[in-house]
Structure 1
Amino acid sequence: MDASRPTVRRARVVGATVTYADRSASCRATVEAMLGEGVDHVVVIDNGSAPSSSSALETLRDAHAGVITLCRRPRNDGSAPAFSAALAEARRAGADLIWLLDDDNLPVPGALTALRRREQALRDAGRSVCAVAPTRSATAEPDVVARAIADDSAREPVRDAVAFAGVDTRVFVRRLLERTGLRRPRPARSSSLQSAPYGGLLIGSDVVQAIGAPDESFVLYGDDLEYTSRIPAAGGRLELVPEAVVVDPRGDRWMPPGFEVLAMFRSRNDALLYYFLRNRVVRELRSGPRWTTARVVNAGLFVVLCGACLVLTRRGDKARVILHAVRDGVTGRLGRRREL
């Protein structure tokens, strides 16, 4: 052995997930998949699970003694406090890198290796504040994964710095032209992201220290996007790794796919709609100047689209929830406002 060569310590990777309700079966599959990918330790936050599910999680912990840390919270206060606790526990477990997954996410074999390789490349290039995110696919079928990768590469992101309630006039017009066949989708020029979900995110413990903890006042929805948006805001790099794939089945959607404003009027859970929209408005207004001309134009388009969707659906109850969410978002009134 050459004593002159420095000893390089292997990075310790801690996986972390949050579960709730009666989801111990899917959580177990996620934990075992993380272990199969080679993480050194797993943190599970039991976010007010049902008693039977909590008992099953304890059995899982005991079956992997010393490898799983299980932390029970007495009630479900939302994803933001729970993922904040997950990050803190992962750091206490000695993590150099933290791999976050939702409790129904299943990484395709090799996902963690691909994420680690790209994260290290960013650090080697001088990007000490960085994180990487996977492609999220509904299934592991090759054609479905290929479509997810293609969609990610072709999707033009809404610009949070000028958008209002997810509406960006420039992107809206371009997508409309694409759907009518008047414009061909253009692949993204960069894998850089302005934000990313928790599910599949690989982030260094030092980065967590640099950007702080998630904002628990978001409660749920959008807290992950606000949190990860701090990385590029700090001059760092948040990057998509297409070859790293995590299956995200999405389950039973409370808001149907398709045109988002219309989907809000057709959603099935008013509390989730409220948090989803309120937190998005807050995040957008924090990401740039509050009321530029572009932002006002986008807010006007959002109002017009809501009016059209109200006429189409005749859902005045949804319009009231949307109005409440927007009002609280503009005034920055965060915290728990509706029962989960």
Structure 2
Amino acid sequence: MSAAQGSAEAAELTLVITTFNRSGYLRGLLDSVAALESGPVRIIVVDNASTDDTQEVLAAAAKQLSVPLVNLRLPVNAGGAGGFAAGVERALAEGASWLWLMDDDVAILPGAVVALRKWTGMYECIHGRRMDGAGRPFFWQHRFLPFLGIHVPVRGNVFRDSPVFATNVGCFEGMLISAGLVRQIGLPDQRYFINGDDEIYGWLASRLTDVVYVNDFVLQKVRPQKQIDLGIRHLNDSSDLSRFYSMRNRGHTAQYLRVHGQFSRPGFALGTLLTAAKELLRLLAVEHRLTGVASLWRGWRESRAILHDGSWQPMPPLVPAPPT
């Protein structure tokens, strides 16, 4: 047996879920975990101060699951970014060796954990494939372009010649990441609240190791969304809150690029225009309204303040940097 195979077989996954007022989806996700023949060794659910019956769902699940469930209820809604930051911190405190980060509106497919484990002897940041609500492959094949500060779709079948597609962007709807890599990067940046926290986390990971997308279907999306087909990819509906943060968080992304010597003012400005154009297209073509434009404007204004904040610092690593 090779060292990689032994590492893969020994890999223990801690599932970290962030949820907010979606107890029905959360119940379905936990049911899919319970149905796995080989699953995670523990589950950590971060409840972002939900006001529905999320706590009752968690109490019932804790009695039915065969693995420990940590119910981490936050006093306020810290968003997906804050939720994952709290969940990752707790997972490390619980002794996690691998963290599987997941939103609440998906279901885990049978055999998913076994499929992912076979890659853990080779890579430290892994994304499996997802199905959409109709059982079709969900498009997620992107690369982050630091010049523009955005991720862009990669055309064609990225698995035509290999079961592994190397990327440099992350997604917290299924990112599997080693605890060692998390300690080098630091916690997810809770200042993002929602939108872009996983993108930049994947990019930071790619500066330390390979970030990959593997040809194994492990999740299915269950939340229905309006969408249109753009040929290269689908464009889903969104919310004004998400639109606001998509623009506002560009300030944080610019600061991360600046820290790593990758910030281009003209390139980033073009990326901001492209981000706004995508959101306008989403409003017009998918949601058939224009009332969300004000959210884009407010987000852009706040991004400018973040970009010019001289006291801004990145999230610190959790282990000292190795000597140079």
CA distance in 2, matches of 1:315, 1:34: 38
Aligned-residue offset at 1:285 = 5.8
Aligned-residue offset at 1:225 = 1.4
**1:287-325 CA-partner distances (Å, limit 9, x unpaired):** 363335544555566678889999999977543322322
State the secondary structure of the residue aligned to 1:101: strand
Equivalent in the alignment of 1:25: 24
Are residues 1:248 and 2:247 paired? no
Equivalent in the alignment of 2:319: none
**1:109-141 CA-partner distances (Å, limit 9, x unpaired):** 12221211112123xxxxxxx210111221473
Equivalent in the alignment of 1:191: 165
For the structure 1 residues 275 and 292, does the alpha-carbon distance in structure 2 shift closer, same or farther, using more than 3 Å as the test?
closer
Instruction: Name the stretch that deviates more: 113-122 or 9-18.
Output: 9-18
State the secondary structure of the residue aligned to 1:109: coil
Aligned-residue offset at 1:328 = 2.4
- Partner amino acid, structure 1, of 2:172: Y
For the structure 1 residues 257 and 77, does the alpha-carbon distance in structure 2 shift closer, same or farther, using more than 3 Å as the test?
farther
For the structure 1 residues 88 and 32, does the alpha-carbon distance in structure 2 shift closer, same or farther, using more than 3 Å as the test?
farther
- Partner amino acid, structure 1, of 2:114: T
More helix by share: 1
* Residue ranges of structure 1 left out of the alignment (5+ in a row): 1-5, 123-129, 176-184, 336-340
CA distance in 2, matches of 1:139, 1:314: 22
**1:165-214 CA-partner distances (Å, limit 9, x unpaired):** x487xx8xxx9xxxxxxxxx544476112112111111111111111101
CA distance in 2, matches of 1:135, 1:325: 31
**1:64-108 CA-partner distances (Å, limit 9, x unpaired):** 486111111233221111111111222222211111221121122
More strand by share: 2
State the secondary structure of the residue aligned to 2:53: helix
State the secondary structure of the residue aligned to 1:227: helix
Identity over aligned pairs, percent: 20
* Residue ranges of structure 2 left out of the alignment (5+ in a row): 1-5, 313-324
> Does the CA contact (< 8 Å) of 1:193 and 1:240 recur in 2?
yes
- Pairing of 1:313-324 with structure 2 (within 5 A): 317-324=291-298
Aligned-residue offset at 1:10 = 3.2
Equivalent in the alignment of 1:126: none
Equivalent in the alignment of 1:232: 206
State the secondary structure of the residue aligned to 2:44: strand
CA distance in 2, matches of 1:269, 1:248: 18
Aligned-residue offset at 1:12 = 2.8
Instruction: Name the stretch that deviates more: 67-76 or 291-300.
Output: 291-300
CA distance in 2, matches of 1:205, 1:167: 25
- Pairing of 1:26-41 with structure 2 (within 5 A): 26-35=25-34, 36=36, 37-41=38-42
CA distance in 1, matches of 2:228, 2:251: 20
- Partner amino acid, structure 1, of 2:178: G
CA distance in 2, matches of 1:327, 1:192: 35
The higher radius of gyration belongs to 1
Equivalent in the alignment of 1:13: 13
CA distance in 2, matches of 1:309, 1:67: 41
- Partner amino acid, structure 2, of 1:279: N
TM-score (norm 2): 0.74
- Pairing of 1:200-211 with structure 2 (within 5 A): 200-211=174-185
